[in-house]
A and B are shown apart, each in its own frame.
Chain A
Amino acid sequence: MKYIVAIIQPHRLDAVREALTGFGVSGMTVSEVKGYGRQGGHTEIYRGAEYKINFVPKLKIEIAVPSATSEQAVEAISRAANSGKIGDGKIFVFDLLDVMRIRTRETGEDAL
Protein backbone atom coordinates (compact mmCIF):
# COMPACT_ATOMS: atom_id res chain seq x y z
CA MET A 1 0.00 0.00 0.00
CA LYS A 2 1.05 3.58 -0.61
CA TYR A 3 0.30 6.77 1.24
CA ILE A 4 0.11 9.78 -1.07
CA VAL A 5 0.43 13.35 0.12
CA ALA A 6 -0.22 16.05 -2.47
CA ILE A 7 0.16 19.80 -2.03
CA ILE A 8 -2.03 21.54 -4.59
CA GLN A 9 -3.49 24.91 -5.52
CA PRO A 10 -6.69 25.44 -3.52
CA HIS A 11 -8.86 26.04 -6.58
CA ARG A 12 -7.83 22.64 -8.07
CA LEU A 13 -9.41 20.61 -5.26
CA ASP A 14 -12.66 19.76 -7.01
CA ALA A 15 -10.85 18.62 -10.16
CA VAL A 16 -8.52 16.41 -8.12
CA ARG A 17 -11.38 14.91 -6.13
CA GLU A 18 -13.30 14.06 -9.29
CA ALA A 19 -10.22 12.51 -10.92
CA LEU A 20 -9.58 10.30 -7.87
CA THR A 21 -13.16 9.17 -7.27
CA GLY A 22 -13.23 8.33 -11.00
CA PHE A 23 -11.21 5.19 -10.38
CA GLY A 24 -12.35 4.21 -6.93
CA VAL A 25 -10.47 6.22 -4.33
CA SER A 26 -13.18 6.29 -1.71
CA GLY A 27 -11.83 8.75 0.82
CA MET A 28 -9.39 11.54 1.37
CA THR A 29 -8.26 14.00 4.00
CA VAL A 30 -7.84 17.65 3.08
CA SER A 31 -6.10 20.33 5.16
CA GLU A 32 -5.61 24.02 4.57
CA VAL A 33 -1.88 24.63 4.75
CA LYS A 34 0.56 27.42 3.99
CA GLY A 35 4.00 27.15 2.52
CA TYR A 36 6.35 28.05 -0.25
CA GLY A 37 8.46 26.30 -2.82
CA ARG A 38 9.98 27.62 -6.01
CA GLN A 39 7.06 29.97 -6.41
CA GLY A 40 8.29 31.83 -3.34
CA GLY A 41 5.51 34.03 -2.08
CA HIS A 42 3.58 36.82 -3.69
CA THR A 43 3.11 40.50 -2.93
CA GLU A 44 -0.08 42.28 -2.01
CA ILE A 45 -0.48 46.04 -2.09
CA TYR A 46 -2.46 47.97 0.51
CA ARG A 47 -2.56 51.76 0.41
CA GLY A 48 0.53 51.87 -1.78
CA ALA A 49 2.67 49.67 0.47
CA GLU A 50 3.80 46.28 -0.78
CA TYR A 51 3.53 43.36 1.60
CA LYS A 52 5.43 40.14 0.94
CA ILE A 53 3.24 37.12 1.56
CA ASN A 54 5.92 34.45 2.14
CA PHE A 55 3.63 31.58 2.97
CA VAL A 56 1.07 30.99 0.26
CA PRO A 57 -2.22 29.19 1.01
CA LYS A 58 -2.32 25.63 -0.40
CA LEU A 59 -4.31 22.48 0.20
CA LYS A 60 -2.78 19.25 1.41
CA ILE A 61 -4.55 16.08 0.25
CA GLU A 62 -3.78 12.74 1.88
CA ILE A 63 -4.97 9.39 0.47
CA ALA A 64 -4.07 5.75 1.02
CA VAL A 65 -4.26 3.38 -1.98
CA PRO A 66 -3.29 -0.19 -2.86
CA SER A 67 0.20 -0.36 -4.37
CA ALA A 68 -1.27 -1.48 -7.69
CA THR A 69 -3.19 1.77 -8.22
CA SER A 70 -0.59 4.10 -6.74
CA GLU A 71 0.89 5.21 -10.06
CA GLN A 72 -2.57 5.75 -11.48
CA ALA A 73 -3.50 7.93 -8.51
CA VAL A 74 -0.35 10.03 -8.83
CA GLU A 75 -1.03 10.44 -12.52
CA ALA A 76 -4.65 11.47 -11.86
CA ILE A 77 -3.65 14.05 -9.27
CA SER A 78 -0.89 15.49 -11.39
CA ARG A 79 -3.18 15.91 -14.39
CA ALA A 80 -6.02 17.42 -12.41
CA ALA A 81 -3.83 19.75 -10.40
CA ASN A 82 -1.75 20.99 -13.31
CA SER A 83 -2.41 24.56 -14.38
CA GLY A 84 1.00 24.83 -16.02
CA LYS A 85 1.99 27.73 -13.83
CA ILE A 86 4.59 27.89 -11.09
CA GLY A 87 3.04 27.05 -7.71
CA ASP A 88 1.05 23.98 -8.76
CA GLY A 89 2.52 21.95 -5.91
CA LYS A 90 4.09 18.56 -5.36
CA ILE A 91 3.10 14.94 -4.78
CA PHE A 92 4.87 12.75 -2.23
CA VAL A 93 4.48 8.95 -2.14
CA PHE A 94 5.27 6.86 0.95
CA ASP A 95 5.23 3.13 1.64
CA LEU A 96 2.34 2.41 3.96
CA LEU A 97 2.90 -0.28 6.59
CA ASP A 98 -0.62 -0.91 7.77
CA VAL A 99 -4.12 0.56 8.05
CA MET A 100 -6.94 -0.15 10.48
CA ARG A 101 -10.58 0.82 10.09
CA ILE A 102 -11.46 1.69 13.65
CA ARG A 103 -15.13 0.63 13.59
CA THR A 104 -14.61 -2.91 12.23
CA ARG A 105 -10.98 -3.44 13.19
CA GLU A 106 -10.27 -4.55 9.58
CA THR A 107 -6.63 -4.09 8.61
CA GLY A 108 -4.52 -3.97 5.46
CA GLU A 109 -6.08 -3.39 2.03
CA ASP A 110 -9.50 -4.42 3.40
CA ALA A 111 -9.45 -1.26 5.44
CA LEU A 112 -8.81 1.09 2.51
Chain B
Amino acid sequence: MIDSGDTAWILTSTALVLFMTLPGLALFYAGLVQSRNILSVLMQCTGIACGASLVWFICGYSLAFSEGSAILGGLSKVFLFSIARDGLSGAIPETAFAMFQMTFAIITPALIVGAFVERIRFSAVMLFSMLWLLVVYVPVTHWVWGGGWLAKMGVMDFAGGIVVHATAGISAIVIAAMLKPRKGFPDDVHPPHAPWMVMVGAAMLWVGWFGFNGGSALAANGDAAMAILATHLSAATASLVWMAIEWKRFGKPSMVGLVTGTIAGLATVTPASGFVGPLGGVLLGLAGGLICYVAVDFVKFRLRIDDSLDVMAVHGVGGITGTLLTGFLATAAFGGAGLETGVVTQFGVQFIGVASVVAFSAIASFIIIKITQALTGLRTDAEAELQGLDLAEHGETGYRL
Protein backbone atom coordinates (compact mmCIF):
# COMPACT_ATOMS: atom_id res chain seq x y z
CA MET B 1 0.00 0.00 0.00
CA ILE B 2 1.53 3.29 -1.04
CA ASP B 3 2.03 5.89 1.70
CA SER B 4 1.67 9.37 0.31
CA GLY B 5 3.51 11.02 3.22
CA ASP B 6 6.53 8.76 2.82
CA THR B 7 6.45 9.21 -0.93
CA ALA B 8 6.33 13.00 -0.67
CA TRP B 9 9.32 13.01 1.65
CA ILE B 10 11.43 10.75 -0.56
CA LEU B 11 10.60 12.81 -3.64
CA THR B 12 11.67 15.92 -1.72
CA SER B 13 14.83 14.21 -0.49
CA THR B 14 15.67 13.17 -4.03
CA ALA B 15 15.66 16.81 -5.09
CA LEU B 16 17.72 17.79 -2.02
CA VAL B 17 20.40 15.18 -2.73
CA LEU B 18 20.67 16.14 -6.41
CA PHE B 19 21.02 19.74 -5.24
CA MET B 20 24.01 18.64 -3.15
CA THR B 21 25.94 17.87 -6.35
CA LEU B 22 24.34 20.39 -8.69
CA PRO B 23 25.37 22.98 -7.79
CA GLY B 24 26.43 22.45 -4.11
CA LEU B 25 29.49 20.23 -4.42
CA ALA B 26 30.38 21.79 -7.78
CA LEU B 27 30.56 25.28 -6.24
CA PHE B 28 32.28 24.01 -3.09
CA TYR B 29 35.07 22.53 -5.21
CA ALA B 30 35.10 25.33 -7.79
CA GLY B 31 35.83 27.98 -5.15
CA LEU B 32 38.80 25.98 -3.89
CA VAL B 33 40.67 25.88 -7.20
CA GLN B 34 42.38 28.64 -9.17
CA SER B 35 40.26 30.94 -11.29
CA ARG B 36 41.66 29.42 -14.48
CA ASN B 37 40.26 26.00 -13.53
CA ILE B 38 36.79 26.89 -12.25
CA LEU B 39 34.89 25.73 -15.32
CA SER B 40 36.78 22.46 -15.51
CA VAL B 41 35.63 21.58 -12.00
CA LEU B 42 32.02 22.62 -12.64
CA MET B 43 32.17 20.62 -15.86
CA GLN B 44 33.58 17.52 -14.17
CA CYS B 45 30.81 17.53 -11.56
CA THR B 46 28.06 18.10 -14.11
CA GLY B 47 29.48 15.61 -16.61
CA ILE B 48 29.70 12.93 -13.93
CA ALA B 49 26.12 13.67 -12.82
CA CYS B 50 24.81 13.10 -16.34
CA GLY B 51 26.94 10.02 -17.03
CA ALA B 52 26.17 8.40 -13.67
CA SER B 53 22.45 8.85 -14.30
CA LEU B 54 22.63 6.83 -17.51
CA VAL B 55 24.87 4.14 -16.01
CA TRP B 56 22.33 3.85 -13.20
CA PHE B 57 19.55 3.52 -15.78
CA ILE B 58 21.36 0.96 -17.91
CA CYS B 59 22.44 -1.51 -15.24
CA GLY B 60 23.66 0.28 -12.09
CA TYR B 61 20.38 0.14 -10.24
CA SER B 62 19.71 -3.44 -11.22
CA LEU B 63 23.15 -4.69 -10.19
CA ALA B 64 22.93 -2.84 -6.88
CA PHE B 65 19.35 -3.47 -5.80
CA SER B 66 17.73 -6.35 -7.66
CA GLU B 67 17.77 -9.97 -6.47
CA GLY B 68 21.17 -11.55 -6.97
CA SER B 69 24.01 -13.09 -5.02
CA ALA B 70 25.78 -11.90 -1.86
CA ILE B 71 28.28 -10.12 -4.08
CA LEU B 72 26.21 -8.50 -6.82
CA GLY B 73 22.59 -7.93 -7.78
CA GLY B 74 20.97 -9.39 -10.84
CA LEU B 75 19.98 -8.13 -14.27
CA SER B 76 16.20 -8.26 -13.84
CA LYS B 77 15.90 -4.48 -13.72
CA VAL B 78 18.33 -3.40 -16.46
CA PHE B 79 17.21 -0.23 -18.25
CA LEU B 80 14.76 0.16 -15.33
CA PHE B 81 12.41 -1.61 -17.74
CA SER B 82 10.66 -3.97 -15.37
CA ILE B 83 9.86 -1.28 -12.80
CA ALA B 84 6.10 -0.83 -12.98
CA ARG B 85 4.55 2.60 -12.68
CA ASP B 86 2.66 1.47 -9.56
CA GLY B 87 5.35 -0.95 -8.33
CA LEU B 88 6.31 -0.52 -4.70
CA SER B 89 9.50 -0.50 -2.69
CA GLY B 90 8.22 -0.65 0.86
CA ALA B 91 5.52 2.02 1.06
CA ILE B 92 6.91 4.23 -1.72
CA PRO B 93 6.92 3.78 -5.49
CA GLU B 94 9.99 1.89 -6.68
CA THR B 95 10.57 4.69 -9.18
CA ALA B 96 11.04 7.08 -6.24
CA PHE B 97 13.46 4.65 -4.59
CA ALA B 98 15.45 4.14 -7.80
CA MET B 99 15.64 7.89 -8.41
CA PHE B 100 16.59 8.65 -4.79
CA GLN B 101 19.39 6.11 -5.01
CA MET B 102 20.43 7.55 -8.37
CA THR B 103 21.26 10.85 -6.71
CA PHE B 104 23.63 8.97 -4.38
CA ALA B 105 25.24 7.30 -7.39
CA ILE B 106 25.73 10.81 -8.79
CA ILE B 107 27.36 12.47 -5.81
CA THR B 108 29.70 9.62 -4.84
CA PRO B 109 31.94 9.66 -7.94
CA ALA B 110 31.62 13.46 -8.01
CA LEU B 111 33.19 13.60 -4.54
CA ILE B 112 36.38 12.09 -6.01
CA VAL B 113 36.75 15.14 -8.29
CA GLY B 114 38.46 16.93 -5.39
CA ALA B 115 41.43 14.57 -5.66
CA PHE B 116 42.42 15.26 -9.25
CA VAL B 117 41.48 18.87 -10.02
CA GLU B 118 43.70 21.25 -11.99
CA ARG B 119 45.69 18.58 -13.85
CA ILE B 120 43.53 15.75 -15.19
CA ARG B 121 42.16 15.24 -18.70
CA PHE B 122 38.40 15.54 -18.96
CA SER B 123 38.17 12.33 -20.99
CA ALA B 124 39.94 10.51 -18.16
CA VAL B 125 37.46 11.94 -15.64
CA MET B 126 34.47 10.66 -17.57
CA LEU B 127 35.88 7.20 -18.28
CA PHE B 128 37.28 6.69 -14.78
CA SER B 129 34.09 7.88 -13.07
CA MET B 130 31.77 5.62 -15.06
CA LEU B 131 34.00 2.57 -14.63
CA TRP B 132 34.32 3.40 -10.94
CA LEU B 133 30.57 3.64 -10.50
CA LEU B 134 30.08 0.17 -11.98
CA VAL B 135 33.08 -1.58 -10.48
CA VAL B 136 33.27 0.00 -7.00
CA TYR B 137 30.07 1.83 -6.08
CA VAL B 138 27.48 -0.63 -7.42
CA PRO B 139 28.88 -3.77 -5.74
CA VAL B 140 29.51 -2.03 -2.41
CA THR B 141 25.99 -0.61 -2.47
CA HIS B 142 24.69 -4.14 -3.01
CA TRP B 143 26.81 -5.48 -0.15
CA VAL B 144 25.54 -2.90 2.33
CA TRP B 145 22.07 -1.82 1.18
CA GLY B 146 21.04 -4.33 -1.48
CA GLY B 147 20.92 -7.45 0.69
CA GLY B 148 24.55 -8.45 0.08
CA TRP B 149 27.02 -10.08 2.44
CA LEU B 150 27.67 -7.06 4.68
CA ALA B 151 23.94 -6.46 5.09
CA LYS B 152 23.49 -10.10 6.12
CA MET B 153 26.31 -9.68 8.63
CA GLY B 154 24.38 -6.76 10.18
CA VAL B 155 26.60 -3.82 9.26
CA MET B 156 25.10 -0.44 10.20
CA ASP B 157 25.43 2.28 7.55
CA PHE B 158 22.40 4.51 7.66
CA ALA B 159 23.16 6.88 4.78
CA GLY B 160 26.54 5.98 3.35
CA GLY B 161 29.56 6.27 5.63
CA ILE B 162 30.87 3.11 4.00
CA VAL B 163 28.99 3.12 0.71
CA VAL B 164 29.61 6.79 -0.15
CA HIS B 165 32.36 8.36 1.92
CA ALA B 166 34.77 5.48 2.54
CA THR B 167 34.65 4.32 -1.10
CA ALA B 168 35.11 7.83 -2.49
CA GLY B 169 37.79 8.82 0.04
CA ILE B 170 40.03 5.79 -0.52
CA SER B 171 39.65 5.93 -4.27
CA ALA B 172 40.46 9.64 -4.16
CA ILE B 173 43.77 9.12 -2.43
CA VAL B 174 44.68 6.29 -4.83
CA ILE B 175 44.03 8.37 -7.93
CA ALA B 176 45.76 11.42 -6.42
CA ALA B 177 48.86 9.33 -5.76
CA MET B 178 48.86 7.79 -9.24
CA LEU B 179 48.21 11.09 -10.98
CA LYS B 180 51.13 12.74 -9.14
CA PRO B 181 50.94 16.19 -7.53
CA ARG B 182 50.16 19.47 -9.23
CA LYS B 183 53.19 21.50 -10.26
CA GLY B 184 54.62 23.19 -7.17
CA PHE B 185 52.89 20.99 -4.56
CA PRO B 186 52.96 21.32 -1.60
CA ASP B 187 54.83 24.57 -1.03
CA ASP B 188 54.07 26.53 -4.15
CA VAL B 189 50.50 25.82 -5.29
CA HIS B 190 47.96 28.57 -5.58
CA PRO B 191 45.34 29.33 -2.93
CA PRO B 192 41.55 28.98 -3.37
CA HIS B 193 40.33 31.65 -5.79
CA ALA B 194 36.92 32.28 -4.17
CA PRO B 195 36.48 31.32 -0.51
CA TRP B 196 32.98 32.86 -0.56
CA MET B 197 32.00 30.33 -3.24
CA VAL B 198 33.31 27.54 -1.03
CA MET B 199 30.95 28.72 1.71
CA VAL B 200 27.97 28.91 -0.64
CA GLY B 201 28.64 25.39 -1.89
CA ALA B 202 29.14 24.04 1.63
CA ALA B 203 25.89 25.62 2.77
CA MET B 204 24.04 23.92 -0.12
CA LEU B 205 25.62 20.62 0.87
CA TRP B 206 24.58 21.18 4.47
CA VAL B 207 20.94 21.77 3.53
CA GLY B 208 20.95 18.98 0.94
CA TRP B 209 22.36 16.59 3.53
CA PHE B 210 19.00 16.72 5.33
CA GLY B 211 17.62 14.84 2.34
CA PHE B 212 20.67 12.57 2.15
CA ASN B 213 20.47 11.41 5.77
CA GLY B 214 16.80 12.13 6.52
CA GLY B 215 15.71 10.54 3.25
CA SER B 216 17.71 7.41 4.02
CA ALA B 217 15.01 6.48 6.52
CA LEU B 218 12.98 5.86 3.33
CA ALA B 219 9.93 7.09 5.22
CA ALA B 220 8.62 10.26 6.80
CA ASN B 221 8.98 9.06 10.37
CA GLY B 222 10.85 9.49 13.64
CA ASP B 223 14.07 8.02 12.26
CA ALA B 224 14.08 10.61 9.48
CA ALA B 225 13.47 13.46 11.91
CA MET B 226 16.10 12.24 14.35
CA ALA B 227 18.56 11.75 11.49
CA ILE B 228 18.16 15.37 10.46
CA LEU B 229 18.53 16.60 14.02
CA ALA B 230 21.71 14.57 14.61
CA THR B 231 23.07 15.57 11.21
CA HIS B 232 22.59 19.26 11.86
CA LEU B 233 24.13 19.12 15.34
CA SER B 234 27.15 17.22 14.05
CA ALA B 235 27.71 19.77 11.29
CA ALA B 236 27.47 22.69 13.69
CA THR B 237 29.78 21.06 16.24
CA ALA B 238 32.46 20.06 13.75
CA SER B 239 32.40 23.56 12.22
CA LEU B 240 33.12 25.09 15.62
CA VAL B 241 35.80 22.52 16.39
CA TRP B 242 37.64 23.26 13.12
CA MET B 243 37.25 26.99 13.67
CA ALA B 244 38.60 26.77 17.21
CA ILE B 245 41.63 24.72 16.18
CA GLU B 246 42.57 27.22 13.45
CA TRP B 247 41.93 30.19 15.73
CA LYS B 248 44.28 28.74 18.33
CA ARG B 249 46.91 27.58 15.87
CA PHE B 250 47.02 30.45 13.36
CA GLY B 251 45.52 33.33 15.32
CA LYS B 252 42.51 33.76 13.04
CA PRO B 253 39.38 31.70 12.37
CA SER B 254 38.98 31.22 8.61
CA MET B 255 35.86 30.83 6.46
CA VAL B 256 37.34 27.98 4.43
CA GLY B 257 38.35 26.23 7.66
CA LEU B 258 34.93 26.53 9.25
CA VAL B 259 33.06 25.10 6.28
CA THR B 260 35.62 22.32 5.88
CA GLY B 261 34.66 21.42 9.44
CA THR B 262 31.01 21.47 8.39
CA ILE B 263 31.62 18.89 5.68
CA ALA B 264 33.74 16.77 8.03
CA GLY B 265 30.89 16.75 10.56
CA LEU B 266 28.34 15.87 7.90
CA ALA B 267 30.43 13.01 6.51
CA THR B 268 31.10 11.67 9.99
CA VAL B 269 27.45 11.60 11.11
CA THR B 270 26.23 10.04 7.85
CA PRO B 271 26.54 6.32 8.71
CA ALA B 272 25.14 6.88 12.20
CA SER B 273 22.51 9.52 11.50
CA GLY B 274 19.32 7.48 11.86
CA PHE B 275 20.64 5.31 14.71
CA VAL B 276 21.91 7.95 17.16
CA GLY B 277 20.28 10.73 19.16
CA PRO B 278 21.10 14.44 19.43
CA LEU B 279 23.97 13.79 21.87
CA GLY B 280 25.39 11.25 19.45
CA GLY B 281 25.29 13.92 16.74
CA VAL B 282 27.30 16.35 18.85
CA LEU B 283 29.86 13.69 19.79
CA LEU B 284 30.25 12.62 16.17
CA GLY B 285 30.80 16.26 15.24
CA LEU B 286 33.50 16.57 17.89
CA ALA B 287 35.25 13.42 16.71
CA GLY B 288 34.89 14.25 13.02
CA GLY B 289 36.16 17.81 13.43
CA LEU B 290 39.25 16.75 15.37
CA ILE B 291 40.20 13.63 13.45
CA CYS B 292 39.59 15.05 9.97
CA TYR B 293 41.64 18.15 10.85
CA VAL B 294 44.60 15.97 11.80
CA ALA B 295 44.05 13.86 8.67
CA VAL B 296 44.30 16.88 6.35
CA ASP B 297 47.78 17.69 7.65
CA PHE B 298 48.75 14.04 7.63
CA VAL B 299 47.87 13.44 3.97
CA LYS B 300 49.36 16.69 2.76
CA PHE B 301 52.56 16.97 4.77
CA ARG B 302 53.38 13.41 5.87
CA LEU B 303 52.15 11.30 2.99
CA ARG B 304 52.82 14.20 0.58
CA ILE B 305 49.91 13.11 -1.62
CA ASP B 306 48.19 15.91 -3.52
CA ASP B 307 44.61 14.90 -2.76
CA SER B 308 44.01 18.50 -3.73
CA LEU B 309 40.72 19.26 -2.01
CA ASP B 310 41.15 16.74 0.83
CA VAL B 311 38.59 14.13 -0.24
CA MET B 312 40.27 11.36 1.74
CA ALA B 313 40.95 13.43 4.85
CA VAL B 314 37.47 14.95 5.07
CA HIS B 315 35.08 12.45 3.45
CA GLY B 316 37.01 9.19 3.76
CA VAL B 317 38.30 9.68 7.29
CA GLY B 318 35.00 11.23 8.39
CA GLY B 319 32.91 8.39 6.97
CA ILE B 320 35.20 5.74 8.47
CA THR B 321 35.26 7.46 11.87
CA GLY B 322 31.48 7.68 11.93
CA THR B 323 31.06 4.07 10.84
CA LEU B 324 33.35 2.80 13.59
CA LEU B 325 31.62 4.94 16.24
CA THR B 326 28.08 4.06 15.13
CA GLY B 327 27.80 0.95 17.28
CA PHE B 328 28.74 2.79 20.46
CA LEU B 329 26.69 5.94 19.95
CA ALA B 330 23.60 4.02 18.79
CA THR B 331 23.23 2.52 22.28
CA ALA B 332 20.48 3.77 24.57
CA ALA B 333 23.14 5.14 26.96
CA PHE B 334 23.96 7.83 24.38
CA GLY B 335 20.33 8.38 23.45
CA GLY B 336 20.43 6.16 20.38
CA ALA B 337 17.89 3.72 18.97
CA GLY B 338 19.66 0.75 20.53
CA LEU B 339 21.53 -2.25 19.11
CA GLU B 340 20.37 -5.72 18.22
CA THR B 341 23.70 -7.20 19.28
CA GLY B 342 26.39 -6.34 21.80
CA VAL B 343 28.50 -3.22 21.38
CA VAL B 344 31.72 -5.16 20.88
CA THR B 345 30.16 -7.52 18.35
CA GLN B 346 28.73 -4.58 16.44
CA PHE B 347 32.10 -2.82 16.45
CA GLY B 348 33.63 -5.97 14.97
CA VAL B 349 31.05 -5.97 12.18
CA GLN B 350 31.58 -2.26 11.51
CA PHE B 351 35.32 -2.83 11.39
CA ILE B 352 35.00 -5.70 8.92
CA GLY B 353 32.71 -3.52 6.80
CA VAL B 354 35.18 -0.65 6.70
CA ALA B 355 38.29 -2.78 6.20
CA SER B 356 36.85 -4.91 3.41
CA VAL B 357 35.35 -1.95 1.53
CA VAL B 358 38.52 0.11 1.90
CA ALA B 359 40.67 -2.72 0.58
CA PHE B 360 38.28 -3.50 -2.27
CA SER B 361 37.93 0.16 -3.28
CA ALA B 362 41.68 0.73 -3.28
CA ILE B 363 42.48 -2.33 -5.40
CA ALA B 364 39.60 -1.86 -7.81
CA SER B 365 40.39 1.84 -8.23
CA PHE B 366 44.02 1.04 -8.95
CA ILE B 367 42.99 -1.29 -11.77
CA ILE B 368 40.42 1.15 -13.18
CA ILE B 369 42.97 3.97 -13.18
CA LYS B 370 45.47 1.78 -15.04
CA ILE B 371 42.82 1.01 -17.66
CA THR B 372 41.89 4.68 -17.96
CA GLN B 373 45.55 5.62 -18.30
CA ALA B 374 45.96 3.16 -21.15
CA LEU B 375 42.82 4.32 -22.98
CA THR B 376 42.78 8.10 -22.58
CA GLY B 377 45.90 9.08 -20.63
CA LEU B 378 45.48 10.71 -17.23
CA ARG B 379 47.26 14.07 -17.11
CA THR B 380 47.11 17.05 -19.35
CA ASP B 381 50.50 18.29 -20.55
CA ALA B 382 52.43 20.79 -18.47
CA GLU B 383 51.52 23.66 -20.77
CA ALA B 384 47.78 23.02 -20.33
CA GLU B 385 48.20 22.81 -16.57
CA LEU B 386 49.90 26.19 -16.60
CA GLN B 387 47.35 27.73 -18.94
CA GLY B 388 44.47 26.36 -16.90
CA LEU B 389 42.09 23.56 -17.81
CA ASP B 390 39.21 25.93 -18.63
CA LEU B 391 40.85 27.09 -21.81
CA ALA B 392 43.06 24.06 -22.50
CA GLU B 393 40.38 21.39 -22.04
CA HIS B 394 37.10 23.22 -22.63
CA GLY B 395 37.93 26.28 -24.73
CA GLU B 396 36.14 28.58 -22.33
CA THR B 397 37.11 31.29 -19.84
CA GLY B 398 35.56 31.37 -16.39
CA TYR B 399 35.91 35.08 -15.76
CA ARG B 400 36.05 37.80 -18.38
CA LEU B 401 36.41 40.87 -16.19
Taking beta carbons and an 8 Å cutoff, which residues of A are in contact with B?
A: 44-49, 51-53
| Structural contact, A49 and B186, CB atoms closer than 8 A | yes
B250 at the interface (CB under 8 A from A): yes
| Structural contact, B189 and A47, CB atoms closer than 8 A | no
User: Nearest Cβ distance between residue A76 and chain B, in whole angstroms?
Assistant: 31
Q: Which residues of B contact A44 (CB under 8 A)?
A: 191
Q: Beta-carbon contacts of B198-235 to A below 8 Å, as 1s and 0s?
A: 00000000000000000000000000000000000000
Among B195, B252, B300, the residue within 8 A (CB) of A49 is B300
Q: List 12 additional contacts besides A45-B252, A51-B189; criterion CB under 8 Å.
A: A44-B191, A45-B246, A45-B250, A46-B254, A46-B256, A47-B257, A48-B296, A48-B297, A48-B300, A49-B189, A51-B191, A52-B188
| Structural contact, A46 and B300, CB atoms closer than 8 A | no
In the bound complex, how far is the Cα of B293 from the Cα of A58, in angstroms?
Answer: 34
Q: Which residues of B contact A46 (CB under 8 A)?
A: 191-192, 195, 254, 256-257
| Structural contact, A51 and B296, CB atoms closer than 8 A | no
| Structural contact, B297 and A53, CB atoms closer than 8 A | no
> Would you list which residues of chain B between 279 and 293 have a CB under 8 Å from chain A?
293
B157 at the interface (CB under 8 A from A): no
| Structural contact, B190 and A51, CB atoms closer than 8 A | yes
In the bound complex, how far is the Cα of B254 from the Cα of A40, in angstroms?
Answer: 23
Query: Interface of chain B, helix or strand or loop or mixed?
Result: helix
| Structural contact, B191 and A53, CB atoms closer than 8 A | yes
B310 at the interface (CB under 8 A from A): yes
Q: Which residues of A contact B257 (CB under 8 A)?
A: 46-47
Can you sample 10 A-B contacts with CB below 8 Å? A45-B252, A46-B191, A46-B195, A46-B256, A46-B257, A48-B249, A48-B297, A48-B300, A49-B189, A49-B300
Q: Which residues of A contact B190 (CB under 8 A)?
A: 51
How many chain B residues touch A (CB < 8 A): the figure is: 20
Q: Which residue of chain B is the closest to A44 with respect to CB atoms?
A: B191
B273 at the interface (CB under 8 A from A): no
> Would you list which residues of chain B between 232 and 277 have a CB under 8 Å from chain A?
246, 249-250, 252, 254, 256-257, 260
**Residue in B191, B192, B257, B260 whose Cβ sees the most chain A Cβ within 10 Å:** B191
User: Nearest Cβ distance between residue A18 and chain B, in whole angstroms?
Assistant: 28
User: Nearest Cβ distance between residue B167 and chain A, in whole angstroms?
Assistant: 22
In the bound complex, how far is the Cα of B189 from the Cα of A52, in angstroms?
Answer: 9
Q: Which residues of B contact A51 (CB under 8 A)?
A: 189-191
In the bound complex, how far is the Cα of B191 from the Cα of A47, in angstroms?
Answer: 10
Q: Which residues of B contact A48 (CB under 8 A)?
A: 246, 249, 293, 296-297, 300
Q: Which residues of B contact A49 (CB under 8 A)?
A: 186, 189, 300
In the bound complex, how far is the Cα of B300 from the Cα of A52, in angstroms?
Answer: 17
> Would you list which residues of chain B between 42 and 78 have a CB under 8 Å from chain A?
none
Given contacts A51-B191, A53-B191, contact A45 B186 (CB under 8 A): no
Among A47, A52, A53, the residue within 8 A (CB) of B310 is A47
In the bound complex, how far is the Cα of B195 from the Cα of A44, in angstroms?
Answer: 12
Q: Which residues of A contact B252 (CB under 8 A)?
A: 45
User: Nearest Cβ distance between residue B28 and chain A, in whole angstroms?
Assistant: 13
In the bound complex, how far is the Cα of B104 from the Cα of A60, in angstroms?
Answer: 50
User: Nearest Cβ distance between residue A2 and chain B, in whole angstroms?
Assistant: 32
User: Nearest Cβ distance between residue B238 and chain A, in whole angstroms?
Assistant: 14
User: Nearest Cβ distance between residue A33 and chain B, in whole angstroms?
Assistant: 14
In the bound complex, how far is the Cα of B387 from the Cα of A55, in angstroms?
Answer: 19
User: Nearest Cβ distance between residue A6 and chain B, in whole angstroms?
Assistant: 24
